[in-house]
Structure 1
Amino acid sequence: MLALTRRVGERLVMMDGTVTVNVLEINGDRVVLGLQAPREISIHRLEAYEQ
């Protein structure tokens, strides 16, 4: 696992630049992320994926 520290407005880029994760908001122990990816890449919360 790679652990990174990011601040609001900072981004992570994955998969040759096709997936971007944006830190939108940090409120206490809650983080709001925005994900941008091509439609053919599925993105799921782990609990939904495991069902």
Structure 2
Amino acid sequence: MLVLSRKKGESIIIQDQIELTVLSVEGDIVKIGISAPKHVDIFRKEVYLSIQETNRESSAPVQSDLNALIDRLRGPQK
């Protein structure tokens, strides 16, 4: 993990397209502004992890159903 120190108003650039700017620091709270192209998805980590878990849960029955369908199409095993 790269660790950088920034003060209010200072920025970090990621791959020429994403800019993170420290907007304010108040106690334990740091407000960060993010400028990025519209095609770049940006999520808080807890939201991202929730989305990933939901995707895993919703794809599990599909995979099971797909395996059952494949077995049925193959027919009885000799």
Bin for the TM-score computed over the shorter chain: over 0.9
5+ residue gaps, structure 2, are 51-78
Instruction: Give distance in 1, aligned partners of 2:28 and 2:44.
Output: 17
Instruction: Give distance in 1, aligned partners of 2:45 and 2:26.
Output: 21
For residue 6 of structure 1, give the secondary structure of its aligned residue in structure 2. coil
Residues matched between the structures, number? 50
More strand as a share of residues = 1
Instruction: Give distance in 1, aligned partners of 2:28 and 2:5.
Output: 14
For residue 12 of structure 1, give the secondary structure of its aligned residue in structure 2. strand
Tell me, yes or no, if structure 1 residue 49 matches structure 2 residue 48.
Answer: yes
* Cα displacement (A) at 1:41: 0.4
For residue 8 of structure 2, give the secondary structure of its aligned residue in structure 1. coil
Instruction: Give distance in 1, aligned partners of 2:29 and 2:10.
Output: 16
Pairwise CA RMSD? 0.5
5+ residue gaps, structure 1, are none
For residue 6 of structure 2, give the secondary structure of its aligned residue in structure 1. coil
Which aligned runs of 4 or more in structure 1 are off by greater than 4 angstroms?
A: none
Q: Larger relative contact order (C-alpha < 8 A, sep ≥ 6)?
A: 1
* TM-score, normalisation: structure 1: 0.95
- What pairs with 1:13-24 in structure 2 (closer than 5 Å)? 13-15=13-15, 17-24=16-23
* Cα displacement (A) at 1:14: 0.1
Tell me, yes or no, if structure 1 residue 35 matches structure 2 residue 34.
Answer: yes
